[in-house]
């Protein structure tokens, strides 16, 4: 499983960012199941800033 951070934004939107790719992804570039290892709150950032 690949390690991800769950990020919460001001508009209540969630986003998952990769912390570390698993070995399977590094070899095949096929995504593996997400393993959320951290939660981050960016409540001062608007959702429009994501794009």
Residue 49 is predicted with a pLDDT of 55
Residue numbers of the domain that contains 37? 2-50
Closest CA to 21 of 39, 40, 4: 4
What is the number of domains present in the chain?
A: 1
**Ordered mean pLDDT values, 10 residues apiece, the chain (51 residues):** 91 89 86 89 79 50
Residue 30 is predicted with a pLDDT of 86
CA 34 to chain centre: 9
**Unique residue bearing structure tokens 């399977």:** 24
Residue 24: CB atoms within 10 A of its CB come to 13
Global pTM value: 0.72
């Amino acid at each position: 499983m690949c390690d991800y951070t769950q990020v919460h934004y001001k508009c209540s939107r969630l986003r998952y960012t990769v912390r570390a790719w698993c070995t399977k992804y590094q070899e095949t570039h096929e995504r593996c199941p997400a393993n959320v290892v951290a939660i981050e709150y960016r409540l001062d950032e608007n959702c429009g800033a994501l794009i």
